[in-house]
């Protein structure tokens, strides 16, 4: 890390953003620097993403940050960063998120999303950081995808490590319009190429947020004086993806059916018709911010959770998919693996 030193005039006010080169991470970084943050660590394992956010910040005349190439699974790197810069606040935006792709790469997504979060939380606790906020997803609720299951395990690992000295929380968000891999840019590209615009199912619905709304909610969640909690925003009604596609086609000056067609392609592995922000086993409570609610759920036994996390980590290290799926099922009885995932164990089921 031969980067310029951060601003040391505000000791204890250094901020670490993981996944800083991604859509949410880079938007959050811009917002933090624009709002007066002086010392930021930008961590990303994608060289291209880190390069792009670094060039954007340089072009905007921003300073007071270091760009670090690496990931949260590198314990030695984390220890070096925390020892050198002593981050006070951590925004954990790094995650694998593409559902169908992750169904074919289950070990990678659990390793990155769940074990990586656990590693980060342990390091934050060790160095007595004041606050860690993870950006979670509605797909963690009653997961049908291994990506969703990995984020639910990450939530549990994070909340397990939280205490009054190092406050750790998570905020569940819906789909972010315009983010990499979201339907908005995909539909726009398909429209520009003359269609068809592909939608999985006529009744598929999703919660949508703009990027600016997402950043505002993240900053609001980080400001709440809680520890070991999950927050969910008060969302608008979910949007039918087919309606979004139709609106984008119309806004492009085209009319269906004479213009670009919508093609329904069928549900993909790990997809749900509708997402949920909380489960039937969870209750919602008000917070000090009217935009956010606190999720109240029954706590798991700490020793049992620790043992489960150890077994999941061991299964990942050994690339033992059968053991991994079994452990996920024990920890998350609501998780229903897809046929694609089960087919990796038994090709005759694929």
State the CB neighbour count (10 A cutoff) for residue 219: 15
How far is 121 from 128, CA to CA, in rounded Å? 10
- With tokens 């939530």, the residue in question is 155
How far is 55 from 47, CA to CA, in rounded Å? 12
Cβ-proximal residues to 207 (8 Å cutoff; 6+ apart), any chain: 138, 174, 175, 235, 236, 238, 239, 275, 277
139 is catalytic: yes
How many residues appear in the chain?
350
| Token digits of residue 248 | 């984008």
Rounded (5°) CA angle 70-72-75: 95
Which entry of 139, 151, 229, 272 is annotated as an active-site residue? Answer: 139
**154 contacts 118 by C-beta, under 8 angstroms:** yes
**17 contacts 93 by C-beta, under 8 angstroms:** yes
Which residues are the active-site residues? 139
């Amino acid at each position: 890390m031969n980067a310029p030193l951060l601003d040391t005039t505000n000791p204890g006010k250094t901020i670490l953003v993981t996944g800083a080169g991604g859509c949410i991470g880079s938007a959050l970084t811009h917002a933090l620097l624009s709002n007066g943050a002086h010392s930021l660590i930008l961590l990303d394992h994608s060289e291209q993403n880190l390069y792009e956010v670094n060039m954007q910040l340089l072009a905007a005349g921003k300073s007071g940050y270091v760009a670090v190439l690496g990931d949260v699974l590198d314990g030695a790197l984390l220890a070096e960063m925390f020892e050198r810069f002593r981050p006070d606040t951590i925004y954990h935006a790094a995650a694998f998120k593409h559902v169908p792709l992750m169904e074919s790469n289950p070990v990678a997504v659990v390793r990155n999303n769940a074990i990586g979060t656990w590693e980060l939380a342990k390091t934050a606790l060790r160095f007595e950081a004041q606050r860690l906020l993870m950006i979670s997803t509605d797909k963690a609720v009653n997961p049908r995808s291994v990506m969703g299951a990995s984020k639910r395990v990450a939530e549990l690992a994070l909340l397990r490590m939280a205490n009054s000295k190092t406050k750790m929380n998570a905020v569940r968000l819906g789909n972010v319009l315009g983010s990499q891999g979201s339907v908005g840019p995909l539909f726009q590209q398909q429209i520009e190429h003359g269609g068809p615009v592909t939608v999985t199912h006529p009744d598929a619905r999703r919660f949508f947020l703009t990027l600016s709304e997402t950043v505002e909610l993240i900053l609001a969640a980080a400001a709440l004086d809680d520890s070991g909690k999950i927050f969910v925003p008060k969302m608008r009604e979910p949007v039918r993806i087919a309606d979004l596609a139709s609106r984008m086609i119309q806004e492009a000056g085209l009319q269906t059916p004479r213009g670009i067609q919508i093609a329904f392609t069928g549900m993909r592995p790990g997809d749900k018709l509708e997402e949920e922000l909380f489960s039937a086993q969870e209750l919602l409570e008000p917070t000090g911010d009217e935009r956010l609610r606190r999720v109240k759920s029954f706590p798991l036994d700490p020793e049992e959770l620790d043992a489960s996390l150890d077994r999941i980590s061991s299964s990942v290290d050994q690339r033992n998919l059968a053991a991994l799926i079994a452990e996920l099922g024990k920890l998350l009885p609501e998780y229903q693996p897809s046929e694609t995932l089960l087919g990796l164990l038994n090709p005759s089921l694929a």
